[in-house]
């Protein structure tokens, strides 16, 4: 393995001079730095990233921040897939990823302070929470950033076309003859929860359908438990819906469990449609009709716009990723 001693021997400079050049000390001439950096590249010395930093003015590191306080966490397949798509894209361009938190060496700091401390070139924030002060700090900073799954006019944002997805869901149920459609809504503190509720109401109006207020039930934190409890409320009604549109697949699974435990069947007694198309959707029994998000594409596009801003300082952009209806066994005509 090449060492700093080998670099010193090859270039004829002292170890001290080589070290000071790699750490960009001002008392080392540009000519000397270049000779040392050339040797570092040629001999594949370990601090190759240091040499790249000095020559390109980049750290070649990006920060990933996951901001949420709703208890969903990284366990949700959507977030896993999006971050994996982002990771693969930036690694192809030679970047490392650093997951940033708010506790460094026992010292609490903001996400932005941690990002500055680590010297990252940009930040990708995965967040569904409206009005999060940590996200606002990042958006207001001069550090290039992209926000995933949240809308802002002040930053690069990437998210799915939630409104069109709701239109596709209601159009599908309408085409099957359903007129009494319920919505298990996502948490009102989340962007996607509010967007999909808005999309549900808009799509119902577009089809001339009444929005029966009791048919809109809070499903909480996009969990199966939240969907289960919401469906129990719908089952207690005398005038029940014939179809249920859940704002997330996990909530749809919970609703289907409640229906099954009540001695009823999907889709014979209730048609159920979700939103996400996580892997389990195709394996569940009955398989779930849902709105598919292109999770890999969201991650890839987030990487693309962030790297463009780092290189060219583009104006903030909004990228809305198309969705599609996936028809499976959980919906049927009446």
pLDDT value at residue 75: 66
In Å, what is the CA distance from 134 to each residue of 108, 138, 154, 330, 334?
13, 7, 15, 40, 48
Q: What is the pLDDT of residue 324?
A: 98
Residue 3 has pLDDT above 80, yes or no: no
Residue closest to 189 by CA, chosen among 67, 302, 293: 67
Token pair 């040392």 in the structure block, residue: 36
Looking at residue 190, the DSSP 8-state letter turns out to be: B
**Interatomic CA distance for residues 273 and 43, integer angstroms:** 58
What is the arithmetic mean of pLDDT over 140-166? 94
Options 3.90.950.10, 3.30.420.40, 1.10.260.40, 3.40.50.20; CATH for 4-47 is 1.10.260.40
Q: What is the mean pLDDT of residues 152-178?
A: 97
The domain segmentation of the chain, as residue ranges, is 4-47, 61-160+296-322, 162-293
Other beta carbons less than 10 A from residue 288's beta carbon: 27
Residues sharing a CB contact under 8 Å with residue 168, sequence separation 6 or more, in sequence order: 291, 323, 324, 325
Average pLDDT, the chain: 89
Q: Domain 61-160+296-322: what homologous superfamily?
A: Response regulator (3.40.50.2300)
> Picking from 185-189, 248-252, 301-305, 320-324, which range would have the lowest pLDDT averaged per residue?
185-189
Please give the Cα distance from 155 to 139 (Å, whole number). Answer: 6
Common-topology check for domains 4-47 and 162-293: no
pLDDT over 60 at 15, yes or no: yes
Radius of gyration of the chain (CA): 26
Cα 286 to chain centroid distance, Å, stands at 28
- Mean pLDDT value of segment 25-36: 87
Arithmetic mean of pLDDT, 29-43: 88
Max mean pLDDT range (91-100, 141-150, 291-300):
291-300
The pLDDT, as a whole number, for residue 128 is: 75
Residue 204's pLDDT is 98
Q: Which helix (H) or strand (E) holds 61?
A: strand 61-67
Predicted local confidence at residue 113, as pLDDT: 84
Q: Which two tokens stand for residue 93?
A: 């361009």
**Greatest Cα-to-Cα distance within the chain, rounded to the nearest angstrom:** 89
Q: Which residues contact 33 (CB under 8 A, 6 or more apart)?
A: 21, 24, 54
Q: Average pLDDT for residues 130-134, to the nearest whole number?
A: 79
Look up residue 232 and give its two tokens.
Answer: 């129990």
d(CA 259, CA 253): 10
Q: Which whole number is the average pLDDT over 304-330?
A: 93
**C-alpha closest to that of 145 among 118, 113, 112:** 112
pLDDT tens for 217-276 read 999 989 999 999 999 999 999 999 999 999 999 999 999 999 999 999 999 999 999 999
Residue 48 scores a pLDDT above 50: no
Q: Which fold has domain 162-293?
A: Rossmann fold (3.40.50)
Q: Nearest Cα to 266, choosing from 236, 292, 238, 289?
A: 289
Q: Output the pTM of the full model.
A: 0.82
């Amino acid at each position: 393995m090449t060492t700093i001693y080998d670099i010193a021997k090859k270039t004829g400079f002292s170890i001290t001079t080589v070290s000071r050049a790699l750490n960009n000390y001002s008392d080392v001439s540009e000519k000397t730095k270049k000779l040392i950096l050339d040797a570092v590249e040629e001999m594949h010395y370990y601090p190759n990233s240091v040499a790249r930093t000095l020559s390109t003015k980049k750290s070649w590191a990006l920060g990933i921040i996951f901001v949420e306080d709703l208890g969903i966490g990284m366990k949700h397949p959507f977030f896993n897939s999006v971050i994996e798509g982002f990771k693969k894209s930036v690694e192809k361009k030679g970047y490392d990823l650093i997951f940033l938190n708010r506790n460094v060496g026992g010292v609490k700091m903001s996400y932005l302070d941690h990002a500055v401390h680590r010297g990252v070139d940009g930040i990708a924030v995965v967040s569904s929470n409206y009005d999060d002060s940590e996200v606002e700090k990042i958006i207001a900073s001069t550090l290039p950033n992209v926000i995933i799954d949240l809308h802002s006019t002040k930053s690069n944002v990437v998210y799915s076309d939630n409104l069109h997805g709701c239109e596709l869901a209601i159009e599908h149920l309408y085409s099957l003859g359903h007129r009494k459609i319920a919505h298990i809504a996502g948490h009102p503190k989340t962007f996607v929860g509010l967007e999909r509720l808005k999309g549900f109401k808009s799509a119902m109006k577009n089809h001339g359908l009444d929005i029966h207020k009791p048919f809109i039930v809070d499903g909480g934190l996009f969990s199966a438990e939240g969907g289960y409890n919401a469906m129990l409320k719908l089952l207690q009604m005398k005038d029940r819906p014939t179809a249920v549109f859940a704002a997330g697949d996990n909530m749809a699974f919970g609703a289907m469990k409640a229906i099954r435990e009540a001695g009823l069947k999907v889709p014979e007694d209730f048609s159920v449609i979700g939103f996400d198309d996580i892997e389990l959707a195709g394996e569940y029994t009955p398989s779930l009709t849902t709105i598919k998000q292109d999770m890999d594409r969201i991650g890839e596009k987030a990487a693309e716009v962030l790297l463009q801003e780092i290189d060219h300082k583009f104006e903030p952009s909004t990228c809305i990723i198309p969705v599609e209806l996936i028809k499976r066994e959980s919906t049927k005509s009446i």
